[in-house]
């Protein structure tokens, strides 16, 4: 049996097993399985060694291990640039960050133009680092809004990119083509929250990409549609970053639509359970 999985603490909420195992089934790969692998932070190094010794091909990495795993693997340029790993291949101990590909591939799948467009990124954490890196590589002009201005500036300095730190008030004078929410504001169970203040006018006709995928329709997306804009939830990013990891381990094209439907079904079942 060829085994892969996701490490984190906790990982019980992850829908990655559903979409990866659906992909294996669709391709007739009955000798592959994807598992939840909860590893406490204090035994991360030991946990990785145990997985390698027990024949795991590779793993996805989620919080809180994405940064601290870096010295334990051979991180590639993308992972080093954003300071975080989310995929490891144990066969050569190489690691990368497929969140970048997940976002960019999903935006392109929705027909969103990126070159020479003004993109407003909300947040300055790990997800924002991956987003800014990928968007700059695609030729977008970046503005970043974060509660802590210093953290937003640190992101820009660390990545060495041409971007600007902004406030919500600045958006009235800066034409915004695309807003990407990289925060967890509005994520279940705090579904009534929104990263865009009600006191600030919302741009008209703007495309909004919310990395939050539970719920699929957030308050931010509602706000976009109410102002004549386009709303895109983050489930596609989750699936496409998983598909990129799948292709690293398998060396074959991932069945993205199969993975997307499996992820949607998993979310439907989670809603039924409350």
Contact 62, 85 (CB under 8 A): no
Mean per-residue pLDDT over the chain, rounded = 96
Give the phi and the psi of residue 251 in degrees, each rounded to 5. Answer: 75, 15
Provide the pLDDT confidence category of residue 39 given band limits of 50, 70 and 90: very high
- Of 66, 74, 151, 253, catalytic: 66
Strand, helix or coil at 2?
A: strand
Whether residue 245 is found in the same domain as residue 217:
no
Tell me, yes or no, if 223 is annotated catalytic. Answer: no
Residue-wise pLDDT tens digits, 135-166: 999 999 999 999 999 999 999 999 999 999 99
* Spatial CB neighbours of 109, under 8 Å, sequence gap ≥ 6: 236, 240
pLDDT for the residue 274: 59
Whether residue 222 is found in the same domain as residue 240:
no
pLDDT for the residue 272: 75
Cα gap 202→223, rounded to integer Å: 8
pLDDT for the residue 270: 83
Cα gap 123→85, rounded to integer Å: 19
Whether residue 67 is found in the same domain as residue 6:
yes
Cα gap 241→96, rounded to integer Å: 11
Residue-wise pLDDT tens digits, 13-31: 899 999 999 999 999 999 9
- The count of structural domains within the chain is 2
Whether residue 111 is found in the same domain as residue 184:
yes
Whether residue 108 is found in the same domain as residue 77:
no
Whether residue 105 is found in the same domain as residue 166:
yes
Residue-wise pLDDT tens digits, 169-179: 999 899 999 99
Whether residue 61 is found in the same domain as residue 111:
no
CATH number, residue 93: 3.40.50.10860
Whether residue 63 is found in the same domain as residue 116:
no
Domain extent at residue 152: 101-233
């Amino acid at each position: 049996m060829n085994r892969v999985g996701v490490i984190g603490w906790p990982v019980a909420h992850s829908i990655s097993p559903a979409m990866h195992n659906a992909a294996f089934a669709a391709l007739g790969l009955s000798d592959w399985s994807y598992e939840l692998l909860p590893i406490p932070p204090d035994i991360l190094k030991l946990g990785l060694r145990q997985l390698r010794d027990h024949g795991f091909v590779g793993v996805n990495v989620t919080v809180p291990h994405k940064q601290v795993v870096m010295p334990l693997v051979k991180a590639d340029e993308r992972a080093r640039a954003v300071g975080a790993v989310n995929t490891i291949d144990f066969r050569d101990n190489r690691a990368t960050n497929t969140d970048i590909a997940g976002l960019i591939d999903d935006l392109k799948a929705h027909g969103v133009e990126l070159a020479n467009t003004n993109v407003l990124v909300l947040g300055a954490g790990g997800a924002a680092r991956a987003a800014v890196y990928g968007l700059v590589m695609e030729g977008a002009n970046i503005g970043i809004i974060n509660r802590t201005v210093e953290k937003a500036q640190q992101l820009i300095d660390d990545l060495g990119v041409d971007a600007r730190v902004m406030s919500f008030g600045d958006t009235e004078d800066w034409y915004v083509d695309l807003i990407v929410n990289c925060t967890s504001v509005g994520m279940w169970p705090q579904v009534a929250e929104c990263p865009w203040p009600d006191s600030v006018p919302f741009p008209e006709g703007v495309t909004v990409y919310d990395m939050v995928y539970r719920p699929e329709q957030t308050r931010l997306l509602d706000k976009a549609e109410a102002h004549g804009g386009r709303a895109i939830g983050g489930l596609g990013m989750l699936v496409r970053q998983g598909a990129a990891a799948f292709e690293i381990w398998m060396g074959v094209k991932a069945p993205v639509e199969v993975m997307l439907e499996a992820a949607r079904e998993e979310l439907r079942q989670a809603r039924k359970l409350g």
